Amino acid sequence: MNKPPQSDRQVPQLVQGMKPFLAMEILEKAKELEAKGRHIIHLEIGEPDLETPACVREACIRALTDRRSQYTHSLGLLELREEICREYKARYNVDVTPNRVLVTSGTSPAMLLAFSVLCHPDDEVILSDPHYPCYPNFIRYVGARIRTVPVREEEGFQYSLGAVKEGLGEKTRAIVVNSPANPTGTVIPAETLKGLTELGPCVVSDEIYHGLVYEGETHSALEYAQDVFVLNGFSKLYAMTGWRLGYVIAPEPFMRSLQTLQQNFFISANSFVQWAALTALREARQEVEEMCEIYNERRSVLVAGLRKLGFGIEVEPTGAFYVLANAKKFCSDSLLFAFEILEHAGVGTTPGIDFGPNAEGYIRFTYANSRENIEEALERIRVFLESR
């Protein structure tokens, strides 16, 4: 029997419409150049270069040796969920009970489940422009629509409450907040976050970069309202990207549905990684502080270096490990420019257009790379710009 031909047309429209992640396209091109012998400095990928704390690695090995490698409760280990609640109490003085926490294999699955239980077909979700590029894909995947609210460079790319209010409609179901933010590295002011929770739609607060702040402080949406969804995970703060662990803290009435989805789609998050994450929360404070000091030093080097080269950084980024630099004086097409920087300077960066039309003309640099590499990258970009 002849099999029908495999073609793109067999892939549903919903999936075909999904845009590729341009940071990955740059990375793939960079790998091609590396395969040909070029030396590339990677400032495009939002992944800590630092090692996962030793106590976390050891806890994982212990869990495996002790054969703690079976399915866990679908919501996640009770001990871990209790520790997450303690963490939110200690950091933000908020009371969360473990029955409101669902542990997932990364923040990304938490996001998928959260939008799944929250959005009805044709509901609208408000996103800032620029935003983390995967958000629209999750939202469209569950049948909802995007409404973007442009945010301004001179306001640190943060929402203005007035602009969000103007964007509200009958169908607005949720407002996504990400602070410290990818791609801008800026932090939302407390009063703006509070104001967003008072507008009506549910706030979905992606707090994955919490803890990575170098000036001022971060606030959790849970400080201002209980009926919010908080997304968080271990990838960034604990340098655990490949371990795949995250969680969602949700309002009580959604928990049963979240749990049902988790049971059906994923059963539970990885058990030994959950034990390791418990140790991360309990014992890795010192290592995390040291990592923050390292990032902070690199941040100063990168911000000062980019400004010297002529990139615009109006509001200094104070969190995460990103700088979204204004490159309009050098380019109007950020994708082309990022490829040019890669080809001619041997430095990987992410084009602003990856994060929304409002970030066209900008380039995102990450400082999740060594100080030496950052300095070398800046020098290479200087030479490239001068020769251009």
Ligand X SMILES: Cc1ncc(COP(=O)(O)O)c(C=O)c1O
Q: Does 48 bind ligand X (CB under 6 A)?
A: no
Q: Nearest CA to 230 among 93, 86, 131, 84?
A: 84
The label of the residue with tokens 């609640």 reads: 85
Judged by CB under 6 A, which stretch of 103-111, 194-202, 257-265, 341-349 contacts ligand X?
Answer: 103-111
Task: For 346, list phi and psi in degrees, rounded to 5.
Answer: 70, 35
Q: Which residues, other chains included, contact 350 with Cβ-Cβ below 8 Å and sequence gap of 6+?
A: 22, 23, 26, 44, 183, 338, 363, 364, 365, 366
Count of all residues that appear for the chain in the document: 388
Q: Does 206 bind ligand X (CB under 6 A)?
A: yes
Interface with ligand X (CB under 6 A), residue from 127, 187, 208, 378: 208
Sheet order of strands, 246-249 included: 101-104, 246-249, 229-233, 202-206, 172-178, 124-129, 145-150
CA trace torsion 187, 193, 195, 197 (10° rounding): 160
- Is the separation of the CB atoms in 68 and 88 below 8 Å? no
The binding track of 119-138 with respect to ligand X, each residue x by CB under 6 A or -, is -------------x------
Least separation, in Å, of the C-beta of 63 and ligand X? 20
Interface with ligand X (CB under 6 A), residue from 53, 106, 185, 305: 106
Q: Does 108 bind ligand X (CB under 6 A)?
A: yes
Q: Nearest CA to 168 among 152, 150, 149, 155?
A: 149
Residues 239-278 that bind ligand X (CB under 6 A): 241, 246
Q: Please say which residue, 137 or 241, places its beta carbon nearer to ligand X.
A: 241
The size of the interface with ligand X (CB under 6 A), counted in residues, is: 13
**Separation CA 266–CA 75 (nearest Å):** 11
Q: Does 178 bind ligand X (CB under 6 A)?
A: yes
Q: Please say which residue, 111 or 164, places its beta carbon nearer to ligand X.
A: 111
Q: Please say which residue, 96 or 127, places its beta carbon nearer to ligand X.
A: 127
Least separation, in Å, of the C-beta of 183 and ligand X? 8
Least separation, in Å, of the C-beta of 172 and ligand X? 21
Q: Where are the alpha helices (DSSP H) in the chain?
A: 13-16, 22-35, 54-65, 78-92, 107-118, 134-141, 161-167, 190-197, 252-265, 271-283, 285-309, 334-340, 371-387
Q: At what angle do helices 54-65 and 271-283 cross, to 10 degrees?
A: 140
**Separation CA 211–CA 142 (nearest Å):** 30
Residue 283: burial class (beta carbons within 10 Å; 0-12, 13-18, 19+) = middle
Interface with ligand X (CB under 6 A), residue from 128, 158, 179, 182: 182
Least separation, in Å, of the C-beta of 309 and ligand X? 25
Q: Please say which residue, 131 or 173, places its beta carbon nearer to ligand X.
A: 131
Residues 5-44 that bind ligand X (CB under 6 A): none
Least separation, in Å, of the C-beta of 178 and ligand X? 5
Q: Please say which residue, 204 or 378, places its beta carbon nearer to ligand X.
A: 204
Q: Please say which residue, 19 or 165, places its beta carbon nearer to ligand X.
A: 19
Q: Please say which residue, 331 or 353, places its beta carbon nearer to ligand X.
A: 353
Q: Does 352 bind ligand X (CB under 6 A)?
A: no
Q: Please say which residue, 241 or 370, places its beta carbon nearer to ligand X.
A: 241
Q: Does 235 bind ligand X (CB under 6 A)?
A: yes
Q: Is 323 helix (H, G, I), strand (E, B) or coil?
A: strand
Q: Please say which residue, 156 or 246, places its beta carbon nearer to ligand X.
A: 246
- Residues interacting with ligand X, by CB under 6 A? 46, 106-108, 132, 178, 182, 206, 208, 233, 235, 241, 246
